[in-house]
Amino acid sequence: MSDMLNIAIAGLGTVGTGTLQLLDRQDGLLAERALQPLRVVAVADLDTGRDRGVDLGKISCFDDALQMVAETDVDVVVELIGGSEGIAREVCEAAIAKGRHVITANKALLAHHGIEIAAQAEKAGVVLAYEAAVVGSVPIIKALREGLAGNRIARITGILNGTCNYILSAMRATGKEFDEVLAEAQSLGYAEADPSFDVDGVDAAHKLALLTAVAYGCIINFDGIYVEGIRHITARDIACAEELGYRIKLLGTTRRLEQGVEQRVHPCLIPTGAPLSHVEGVLNAVMVEGDFVGPAMFEGAGAGSHPTASAVVADMVDIARGVVIPTFGRPVTELEKMSSVPMKNHSGAYYIRLSVTDKPGVIADISAILRDGKISMESMLQHGRADASLGVVTVVMTTHETQESAMIEALAKIGALPVVEEPPCMIRIEQL
């Protein structure tokens, strides 16, 4: 057993505080598993005086994270500040330049700059670890790089954002609309004051970019991800999906195809019998399909102080044990550059919701457009008038599998019909 793994933590927010508490409460257990004690010797935060449930009396405290990196002699720097630019990136790069291992929970930083930072870490001979950056407590990076190393990964599909999953779950349970449930999520601390990164799908896309790189050994291509959020989902969509035997989830999906890599984040209807349909509230889950293992599902808390801290500390233990694995599963110089498969090439089934004037011939006109686009209708729902005074009804249809480009073209024509009162709503169906 070596003497000690000395650690500096930049950022004492939710995850930083949880990490301090875990290290303090599990010190004996961690020393056994890491084969040496894990000791925090320095922290940096704009407010180091706030009570975090851990005695900081013997720890050097800084209000400048870069100063902490420069002035402390540690083995590992943990970056828990967040953000894709600025001080978070500077802390990681300064630590690597000093020959320090780096642990981060910063999925945005890695999605945009992970290849450059990983290359710096490899050149310096240090580890860049980030288990906490992807679905919190779920050890999916370790599973892909180690547990499933004997498999070629064909597809990953996951519920990657707890805020969206909470909102969609609550809408289904209560019948309330998106805006009302979002406000409740903000009051409970499940959504930020500015929820855009979550509800518009960006957070899930950051995580999907990292999963894709690890799964296929390819260069991160965040710009190649199709991203669509959940703001347009209504209580009526949730109810109609249930009636049709589906639930609506925001999914991140990556597939390796002959023509390249498909990466997409968007709401989906998934069958109520599918395992992912039962992942509710703020939980996350990832389904991985390997050629030898088949489908394997990983589920757990995707955020929160202690669950995310668990992933941070797991990386510390690996470093203490001397475990060294390339950041994305293979050296940066060996990562493949893969083409992005455009969303227009996607093929699948679709849910369509229309608000139309209630008069004879409307369905025939819509059906004719679908027929001309070689799109086959599977089912249709109509539940009376949505607005009796205007004579407007809601019509919901599902289609058999077709190409996205054909669906988009058909919807443009349907939306131009004078009897269609508002732009059509389209949600993709995933037969998991």
**Are 247 and 270 spatial neighbours (Cβ–Cβ below 8 Å)?**
yes
Query: How many other C-beta atoms can be found within 10 angstroms of the C-beta atom of residue 311?
Result: 28
Measured in residues, the chain has a length of 432
Q: How far apart are CA 309 and CA 189, in angstroms?
A: 18
Q: How far apart are CA 30 and CA 14, in angstroms?
A: 21
User: Chain-centre distance of CA 196, in angstroms?
Assistant: 14
Q: How far apart are CA 113 and CA 222, in angstroms?
A: 10
**Are 205 and 236 spatial neighbours (Cβ–Cβ below 8 Å)?**
no
Nearest-CA neighbor of 136 among 257, 358, 286, 290? 286
Query: How many other C-beta atoms can be found within 10 angstroms of the C-beta atom of residue 174?
Result: 13
Query: How many other C-beta atoms can be found within 10 angstroms of the C-beta atom of residue 120?
Result: 19
Q: How far apart are CA 155 and CA 389, in angstroms?
A: 48
327 to each of 144, 148, 154, 301, how far by Cα in Å?
Answer: 12, 16, 20, 23
Largest CA distance in the chain: 82
DSSP secondary structure string for all residues of 187-202? HHTSS-SS-HHHHTSH
Residue 409: exposure state from Cβ atoms within 10 A (0-12, 13-18, ≥19)? middle
Q: How far apart are CA 322 and CA 302, in angstroms?
A: 27
Which 3 state secondary structure label does DSSP give 109? helix
327-348 burial, b for 16+ CB within 10 Å, e for fewer? bbbbebeebeebeebebeebeb
**Are 240 and 360 spatial neighbours (Cβ–Cβ below 8 Å)?**
no
Residues recognised as catalytic: 207
